[in-house]
Structure 1
Amino acid sequence: MWGTRNGENGGVVCVACGQTVRRSAAREYDKEGDRWSRRGKTFEYLCKRCHRELCHQPRNELEDLLVDIEREGRQEQRDFLRRYNEIVEERYGSLEERGR
């Protein structure tokens, strides 16, 4: 039989809700989006319920977009979100345009 990995028999903590669940009842989460490159990484876990609630759409360019907004200076959340929406529409068009 295959050997067990760290945490396989014990519990892991869901980074979203804080619930401790069996490793077999959790999903690995890699914030870099590359769970297949395993060397030197420590993975976080999500319970299955929280994993289902995640948006599973590609997030290419997201981090660069957020850094661009952050470079503009500290903002209130409302202003940050407004600016995020503006940049997304500038770069990718509005949702209405993309749906055509």
Structure 2
Amino acid sequence: MWGSRSRESKSVTCIACGTSLRREHAREYDKYGDRWDRDGKEFEYLCKACDRELCHQPRDELEGLLVEVAAGEHSQDEFLSWYSALVEERYGSLEEQ
């Protein structure tokens, strides 16, 4: 019936700060921005404090851009260079806005 779900008592780790906490005290994070489509997904988690610090405005294509430029796999300088070039190519420069 409506009893507790087994996933509620498991421990998860906040991807932002590394804190280990019970699942029911965490917030789900879907890097593709669609947490409502749950089929076949494994979610990452944020503690409530880290979740509050995030911008909750629509991300549109942000996650796709980050995956495309392989964020986290290269130096910060390389990432910023590739990301800036890709954003300017797709959306134009800030000066044009």
**Interval containing the TM-score (normalised by the shorter chain):** 0.5 to 0.7
| Alignment-derived partner of residue 58 in structure 1 | 59
Q: How far off its partner does 1:76 sit?
A: 4.6
Post-superposition offset of 1:92: 1.4
> When the two structures are superposed, what TM-score results if normalisation uses the length of structure 2?
0.66
Q: Rg larger in 1 or in 2?
A: 1
Alpha-carbon shift at residue 58 of structure 1 (Å): 1.3
The TM-score with structure 1 as length reference comes to 0.65
Give the aligned partner of residue 77 of structure 2: 78
In structure 1, the residue matched to 2:4 is 4
Matches within 5 A, 1:82-93: 82-93=81-92
Q: How far apart, CA to CA, are the structure 2 residues paired with 1:61 and 1:21?
A: 28
Q: Could you list the runs of 5+ residues in structure 1 that have no partner in the other structure?
A: none
Q: Closer, same or farther in 2 for the Cα pair 1:62/1:12, shift >3 Å? A: closer
**1:36 maps to which residue?**
36
How many Å separate the matches in 1 of 2:74 and 2:23? 39
Counterpart of 1:49, as a letter, is A
4+ long deviations beyond 3 Å: 74-77, 94-98
**Separation in structure 1 between the aligned mates of residue 37 and residue 67 of structure 2, nearest angstrom:** 24
What are the superposed Cα offsets for residues 52-83 of structure 1, whole Å, 9 maximum, x if unpaired? Answer: 2234331426425752x46xxx9653133123
Structure 2 unaligned segments of length 5 or more: list them: none
The 8 Å contact of residues 33 and 59 in structure 2, kept in 1 or not, is answered as no
Q: Distance in 2 between matches of 1:62 and 1:9?
A: 29
Q: May I ask how many residue pairs the two structures share in their alignment?
A: 94
